[in-house]
Every structure is written in structure tokens, then in C-alpha cells.
Structure 1
Amino acid sequence: MQIHDLIGIGFGPSNIALAIALDEKRHHGQFVDALFIEKQQGFVWHKNMLLDNAHMQISFIKDLATLRNPSSRFTFLNYLHEKQRLQDFVNLKTFFPSRHEFNDYLGWAAAQFEDRCAYGESVFEVVPEMRGSEVQLVRVRSRQADGSVRERLARNLVVSVGGVPKIPARFQPFRDDPRVFHSSSYLEAIARHPKAERIAIVGAGQSAAEIFMDLQSHPNKPAVDLIMRARSIKPSDDSPFVNEIFNADFTDFVFNRSQPERAELLEEFWHTNYAAPDLELIQQIFNVFYRQRVAGVARHGFLRRHEVTAVRGRGRRPPVAARPQHRSARRAWLRRRDPRHRIRARRPQDAARSARAVPGRLHGRPQLPAAGHAGTEAGHLPARRLRNQPRAQRHAAVGHCHPVRRDRAGAAGSESTAGAAGACLRAYAAAGRRDLTLWTSRGDTLNKNRSYYRSQDRPSALPYRRLVIPSRS
């Protein structure tokens, strides 16, 4: 049996770059017998995410060869030259080619190594060949398309199989349901739903953002809901010092670190590559939501600080249940359903935690008052402490409380923020059989809705009003 110097499992960008480096060594008299095994029938690179308007997130200079050998014939610039598009690409004045073009570049490079890649074989076992206490060779077993098994021996093994779709546990029972699919199969899956009316996207990374924008041009114009744990979509960090982690010498630095140190590095630089879309894409998404606010039509939804709590297949539409992440008064916002896509939002039921909750800085629907923020009618609010609170925190229940169409607290049909906030706060006051007092600045939105409040001037030099929310007792 032939013994190869190296066997590579997978033939994506990483192993293509390795094949190029070994090929250039061969031209300098350093021959390495390398063979690559790929389970696909031909070269494939994210075929289901080759969206029309998607571009690369990294510069074309970080191609398969340039940073290692700028004079290599496998550079992206040489690819453009051979395709007779170099001058036109220069006129684009961009460092970021389209994903379609970069996929074509990778396929162009892979095609030059077809004699060194076994396509259509899936590796299922790697067995060490021992001589004494040392591993001398590795035996690689792969299964071909016709079911036959093939064995090969190698002195070195390189594993470059790419990422594996991560399916959350709550979606595992629906892996075979065509209505629930991972972004890695997006184009094929969405083509099976040409008449989709409402689509929920779980996540806030680059793929989720690209899919959201791609659905804007879907023929059926479906309504789309973004569901994410975070408060906002954060851009990827590609600042110069942070980008040093992608330098070649940083690989050796990470390799020599302990496992806990590696974990710290991954956490520190998480937003360079995970759950962090490009800033330009974030601006496009924000523009979509802004335009629908201008039009006064709530077509798309943005469920921030939510997590998926349950998925149930029911009829032709599988509902997804989502729960907000931040804590709030259990009685202030009761469970609600959004009939548009059957997403259920529910407040946490931990009353002990709710009793300690205070308004969030930038989010938060009406929450249980805490001492120093609000209290009963007989309570006291120190002026100094109030003066030190950010306006966004003082008015969390006002500026970030959205109207709810189907809320048992009585906010149904409310068109104003004040109406929704007032109904929810009154519901809590009624449940507690006591009045609530909220300190807010004069002229605030809450003061304009006098159907829910009666106001009393606070004897203080500070321009604040004390708003008493009467109970129903």
C-alpha cells in the first residue's frame, strides 16, 4: 500500500492554500506527496449562502497565497488577470469582492489540483499505526459513493473539515421539517417556500443579517422577524490592533498557550467573527425598520433580548415561543402572543427577582419600582439620587415601552407609548391594591395622557412631577 507524506481531510480554502504552498515547494525541489479527500462531488464553498448582494468581509489581499508569497500564481490578482477582469476590478475601487466572485476564485484554484484530490469520499475512521510506543503512520478509511471502503496510509494528517451547523436543542425535533432550516441551507430551503408570508430569523450574526436583507427582495415579500438575545446588533471589530490576531505569527502564539488561556482569547476576540455583522449591513437593516416607521406599517418585527423557549409543530405553521431576557415586574406585562408568526413572549415568573428589579438603562418595559427610583404615594425620592440617574434610566418605562395589541393589562388598541406604559403600570397597581408614584420630568409624554394619571406638583426646585397611579381598590 502506498504511503503518502500527507493526507488532508477536506478540500476547502484552508487545504487549498496548503496544497498551493506544497506545490510551490515542489517547484523548488522539495517534493511532498500529498493527497486530499473531499466528501463533496466537486468543489463547494457555502453554496447556499452565495447571495446576490453578499460581499466578502475581508480584503482580497488575504487570499490563498498573497500574504505568504505575493509572487504566487495563485493570488486573487493573478486570477483576475487570467479572467481578463483586472482593470475593471481596479475601477471598482474596493478591497471586498462579491462572494460570488471569490467563490469563483476558489474554484479556479481548486481545479488546478484535481489530480491530488479524491472527491466523493467521506472519511469515517482514522486509526494510528503504532511501532512500539510511537505513532509511525495513520490509516485513513473512507467510504466512496458506491459504498465501497478505501484505506490509505500517511505520515502526516491534516484535518480541515470546516464548520458544522449547530442546531439548538429545542429545534432538534424539527430537523426534518422543511419549515425549519439552518442558514447553511438557506437558498435551497427558501426556494421550497415561494409563497412564504412570515419568516422568523433566530440570531443576530452576519448570516442572519444577510438573510434578513435578502428576504427584502423575495418575490412574495414576506414579513420577517429578527429574534436575538442581545439588546442590539453589534458590528464586527476589525480595528487595526484587533486584526493582529489574524497575523501568521499569532497562530504560533495561540498554539503555545494553555487551554484556559485559549478560552480567554476566544472570549476576548469573540466579536471579530461571531454574532457580529458588518456595520454597513447593520445600517441597511436599521434603514428598513426606519422606512416602515415612516410608512406607519409594522411589516417586520425586531424581538431584541428574547430567547427561544419552545417550538411546537402545529398544522401547517410551527409556532416559536420566545421569552424576553431582561427582568421586569411579573404582573406589569402579562403573557402575550403575536398572531403574525405565533411567537410567544413571556415575562420571567421569578417574583423574588422582580422585587429587586429596577428600570434598565437602555431597555426595559415597566418594572417594579425600587427605593430611590419610585415608590408608593407616601414614599420619598432623594433629589440627589434622582439627579444622578441617566435620563434613559429614569424614563425606561416611558421611552422604551411599546404598545401591545393583545395585553390583558388593558393596553389593547393603545396607540401611544404613554397609553401602553400607563395601562401596564395601572395593572400592577391594581394587583398590589396600592397607588404607585412615578417621578418624571414636566411635559413628559406621561403627563399628556391624563386618562391614566392625576399629577401632583412636587415641592422641589427640580423640574419634576410626581405622578400618582391610582389603584382600583
Structure 2
Amino acid sequence: MTEATSDVFDLIGIGFGPSNLALAIALQERGHNMRAAFLEARPQFAWHPDMMIAGSDMQVSFMKDLVSLRNPRSAYSFVSYLHDKGRLSRFINRKTFFPSREEFNDYLGWVAAQLPVCHYDSRVTAIDPVGRGDHITELAVTSESSNGQSRIYRTRSLVLAPGGQPHWPEIFRPVQGTSQVIHAQDYLSATTARIKPGMRVAVIGGGQSAAEIFTDLAQRPQIAGVQLILRGRALMPSDDTPFVNEVFDPGQTEIFHAKPEADRQRMLQNLAATNYAVVDGDLIEQIYEMLYEQDVRGEDRLLLTAETQIQAVAATDQSVTLNMTGPQGAVAADFDLVILATGYRRDLDDAMLKSLTPWRKGPPDRNYRLPMADHFEPAIFVQGFSEATHGLSDTLLSVLPFRSEEIALALEAFHNRHMNAVAAE
């Protein structure tokens, strides 16, 4: 059964992770008068639930929460959360800027619970133009619940923030969907059901997630062997030194966006070590120590294989065979489980915008709005799809407070123009 809303929304947001959560705060604090709703596929708020590995910490300061850089007095700050939970003094006593990932997730959920604007269990399945001919006046957003109930929301503006989709390297695509190969996105829930005594597990990747998963598996004694396989020469540390970290400062977005495309691409390449395929230095040292202590004991349960390329993958009902080439030549190894810590991809075409392709005219503008053809009235904003034009922080928490305010201001201006046009008719 499909239910259609009778009224037109001023705003529909797709996804209710940190990006749209920050937008909801910005709109709330500005006292907006728009009819707005956010659609989230999950049944309740959750942020990377399958990477809540025990002992894992945030890689950014708690000051880079949803709002503090923009409004330190906000009731939705991480400090306000700690005060409300009665843990502010104890957190200060820990002398750290970095909460656990579990605590930061709890903070995000605490904020979400105070903003009753989200429709959970609402997976968006389609975004369609509404109008006559080429003149588009609204968008129809179709969502579906877990019990098959469909609903259509009509809206004059849209903010897309669905997050990234798991990246499956081409060579692993034929085994996607098998029980022996999973993506890190599903790590905890998938391994809970699959880990059995005596298993051999391979982790593919050289970034933070791969290192965290390798370390977590190493601490499960029932696993017979864990192998971390990476293309690079070694696990590389992230560059979080102060001068380099300034690339994530709010003002850098304006500077980056104003540069020619070639300069932007060069900057992204030069700064890759701040975010991509890098690991916290402390975790690298922990892994090195684990491997050293294992060598002292004369064991070989844990293995780190660098400079290794996977050439072929074959799966049966029981195991996965990886054919690899590296410093030791060509090697074939069998595993009971392979975990891909290969990152995420962000593609606007995958974000349910294919039906709007005839009207799209290019990448997001400075205010994160997609330029559309003439006679296309709805405003479409995107969050997390603008790294190439807005800088490395686009997919990170650092930019959320200011990006959300910029989008909120643009939405208000768009809404006011519409209301003035209606009043003038």
C-alpha cells in the first residue's frame, strides 16, 4: 500500500546521520518556519554501529562536534551532552580531546532524540520530478518501511546526505553477497554470526578501519590466524600535526573552492596522508608490538603482508582462495572469512538522482546546491559529495557546523522567495 502526503513539504532531508543532524540543529537554532522532515532507513539512530569496536577512539577533537565551532553556547554541543549525562567533570579528569567512538555515537543519538523531525524506518527508493513537461515545480520522494509500507512525500527542496556506499574492488565483485566475504561496514554484526574456533581470517586494506579490525581479531583467541594484506610498503601514519590540520579549518573551504580545478586536484593528492589509507600512530605501534611479542613466543598466528596485490579471488561454500603477488612471489592462500576494509564511494548518481539527470548541469555550487536547468524550480543540496570542489573535509565531521548553517541560510532564502512569489499572485 502506498500513502501520499496531501501537503507539500518545504524540505525533505534524506539520511539522518551527522550531516543532516547538524542541519536540523542549524534550522532549529535559527527558528525556521519551514515544514521539514528527514527520512532515515534505519529503525533508530545509529552511526557506523558495526565499527563500534571496543577501545576505538575518535580521531578528531570533541570540539569538532555538530555545532560548537559555529555556536559554542549551543544546547546541542558535546559539552552540553556531558553535562546532561553527569559526566562533564569526569571527562575533564581524563585529560583528552578524544572521546571513545561509542561515547560520540551516544552523543549523536542524544541530539537526535531532541529533534523530533526524523521519520525512521523510511528507506528512500525513488526521487521523481513533478510538473508539466520540462517545467518542474516539486519533487516526489518515495520511501518504504521494513514492512513494505510505501509513502510519497512532495517537497520543494531536498537535502541529500545518505553517506557513502561500501566500496567493493572490482576483483571482489563476483563474490559480493557470499557469506565468506564481507565489508567493514558490517564488521561486528557479520563476524558475530560467522566467527568460529579455528578460523583463518584475512583483512584487506591499509587504513584505520583495517588496522582496528586486525587488532580486534588478534584479541580473539578462538581465531587460528589473522592476516592483514595491504598494497603499500607499510602501515602509514596519519598526519595530524597542527599546521597540516589547518586544512580542516572552516575558512579553508572558501579558499579551496576558489582555486582552479587543477590546483584543487593537486591539493587533494598532497593532503591524502591526513585522511586516506593512513592509521593513527599509536595503533601502528600497538600492532608492531603485537607482532614483535608474537615473534618472541615463536608463533605465527598474526601476519602483516605488505606490497601485496590480489590477482584472483575464488569462493566456495566453505572458504575463499586469494591468489596474491608480493615480495615472496606468487602465493595462494585459503581463508574462512575475508573482510574488506576498502573504504566508501560517493556517487551522486547512486544517490537516487538518476531520474533528474536531464536537468542537472554540473557539480554543487559554493552553497552545496546542485545547479539545474531552467524551469527546474526545486532546490537540491548535497552533503558529503563535494570533496573535489570543497576540499578534503567535505566527508568529515570538521566542516559540519558551518556547512549546515550555509545550507540553512540558502534554504531560508529559497523558502522566502517562494512565499513572496505566492503572496504576489
Same fold judged by TM-score > 0.5?
A: yes
Aligned equivalent of 2:74: 72
Partner secondary structure for residue 126 of structure 1: strand
Q: Which residue of 2 aligns with 1:209?
A: 211
Instruction: Note if contact 1:49-1:184 (Cα within 8 Å) is conserved in structure 2.
Output: yes
Q: Which deviations, in whole Å up to 9, do the C-alpha atoms of 1:86-125 show, x marking residues without a partner?
A: 11111111110011111111111011123x1111111122
**Structure 1 residues 132, 168: CA separation in 2 closer, same or farther (over 3 Å shift)?**
closer
C-alpha distance in structure 2 between counterparts of 1:104 and 1:334, whole Å: 47
What are the superposed Cα offsets for residues 246-285 of structure 1, whole Å, 9 maximum, x if unpaired? 2223333444455544433332222221111111111101
The amino acid across from 2:267 in the alignment is L
Give 1:179's aligned residue. Answer: 180
Structure 1 distance, partners of 2:229, 2:9, is 49
When structure 1 is superposed on structure 2, of 226-235 and 152-161 the one drifting more is: 152-161
Compare CA radii of gyration and give the structure with the larger one: 1
Which of the numbers 29, 34, 37 marks the counterpart of 2:36?
A: 34
Q: Equivalent residue for 1:285?
A: 287
**Unaligned segments of structure 1, at least 5 residues:** 327-332, 344-473
Q: 1:305 to 1:123 in 2, by over 3 A?
A: same
8 Å Cα contact 2:41/2:123 also seen in 1: yes
- RCO comparison, higher one (Cα < 8 Å, 6+): 2
Change (3 A) 1:59 1:99: same
1:353-412 CA-partner distances (Å, limit 9, x unpaired): xxxxxxxxxxxxxxxxxxxxxxxxxxxxxxxxxxxxxxxxxxxxxxxxxxxxxxxxxxxx
Contact kept, 8 Å, 1:319 with 1:342, in 2: the verdict is: no
What is the alpha-carbon root mean square deviation over aligned residues? 2.4
Q: Which residue of 1 aligns with 2:162?
A: 161
Deviation per CA, 1:420-453: give whole Å up to 9, x if none.
Answer: xxxxxxxxxxxxxxxxxxxxxxxxxxxxxxxxxx
Structure 2 partner of 1:23: 28
Q: Secondary structure at the match of 1:213?
A: helix
Given that 2:291 and 2:302 are in contact with CA atoms closer than 8 Å, whether structure 1 keeps it comes out as: yes
Q: Give the superposition deviation at 1:243.
A: 1.8
The whole-number CA distance in structure 2 between the counterparts of 1:340 and 1:150 is 44
CA distance in structure 2 between the partners assigned to 1:196 and 1:263 by the alignment: 46
Structure 2 counterpart of 1:168, which letter? Answer: P
| 1:113-150 Cα shifts (integer Å, max 9, x gaps) | 23x11111111222334579765433222223333432
Q: Looking at secondary structure, tell me which structure has more helix per residue.
A: 2
* TM-score, normalising length: structure 2: 0.73
Q: 1:175-214: CA deviations, max 9, x gaps?
A: 2322211111111121121324321111111000001111
Whole-angstrom CA distance in 2 between matches of 1:281 and 1:266? 25
Between 1:252-261 and 1:230-239, the stretch displaced more is 252-261
Deviation at 1:25, TM superposition (A): 0.6
**1:50 to partner: Cα distance:** 0.3
Q: Which 4+ runs in 1 deviate beyond 6 A? A: 131-134, 339-343
**Structure 1 pair 301–256 and aligned structure 2 pair: CA distance change class (3 A):** same
Distance 1:40 1:340 in 2: 32
Give the match for residue 118 of structure 1: 119
**8 Å Cα contact 1:65/1:75 also seen in 2:** yes
Say yes or no: does 1:197 pair with 2:202: no
Is 1:10 aligned to residue 15 of structure 2? yes
Report what 2:235 is aligned to: 233
The structure 2 residue matched to 1:301, chosen from 285, 296, 303, is 303
Closer, same or farther: CA 9–315 of 1 in aligned 2, 3 Å: closer
Maintained 8 Å contact 1:25/1:31: no
- Secondary structure, aligned partner of 2:196: coil
CA distance in 1, matches of 2:33, 2:263: 37
SS at match of 2:315: coil
Once residues 128 and 256 of structure 1 are traced to their aligned partners in structure 2, the CA distance between those partners, rounded to angstroms, is 32
Tell me if structure 1 keeps the 8 A contact 2:67–2:76.
Answer: yes
In 2, are the aligned partners of 1:321 and 1:342 still within 8 Å (CA)? no
Q: Distance in 1 between matches of 2:158 and 2:232?
A: 40
**Change in CA separation of 1:257 and 1:190 when aligned onto 2, cut-off 3 Å:** same
- Residue identity matched to 1:36: F
CA contact 2:202–2:228 (8 Å) conserved in 1: yes
Unaligned runs of 5+ in 2: 1-5, 339-425
CA distance in 2, matches of 1:75, 1:222: 44
Q: Which moved more, 1:72-81 or 1:123-132?
A: 123-132
Matches within 5 A, 1:430-445: none
Residue matched to 1:51: 53
Q: Is the 8 A contact 2:201 2:337 kept in 1?
A: no
Do the aligned partners of residues 178 and 282 (structure 1) sit closer, same or farther apart at CA in structure 2, a change above 3 Å counting? same
Cα distance in 2 between the residues matched to 1:2 and 1:337: 60
Deviation, structure 1 residue 291: 1.1
* Equivalent in the alignment of 1:438: none
Which deviates the most, 121-130 or 102-111? 121-130
Change (3 A) 1:339 1:76: closer
d(CA) in 2 for partners of 1:33, 1:250: 32
Verify the 8 A CA contact 2:324 2:330 in the aligned structure 1: no
Assess if the C-alpha contact under 8 Å between 1:6 and 1:34 holds in 2.
Answer: yes
Residue 237 of structure 2 aligns to a residue in which SS? coil
Is the 8 Å Cα contact of residues 120 and 145 (structure 1) preserved in structure 2?
yes
TM-score of the pair, normalised by structure 1: 0.66
- Residues 336 and 212 of structure 1, relative CA distance in 2, 3 Å threshold: closer
Give the paired residue count.
332
CA contact (8 A) 2:10 2:36 kept: yes
Counterpart residue type for residue 164 of structure 1:
Q
Any idea what SS the aligned residue of 1:102 has? Answer: helix
Residues 33, 256 of structure 1: alpha-carbon distance in 2 compared, 3 angstrom cutoff: farther
CA distance in 2, matches of 1:184, 1:139: 30
Whole-Å separation in 1 of the counterparts to 2:329 and 2:156? 64
Distance (Å, rounded) in 1 between the aligned partners of 2:335 and 2:66: 46
Report the secondary structure of 2:236's partner residue.
coil
Preserved contact between residue 201 and residue 335 of structure 2 (Cα < 8 Å)? no
Which residue of 212, 218, 230 maps to 2:220?
Answer: 218
What percentage of residue pairs aligned between the two structures are identical?
A: 41
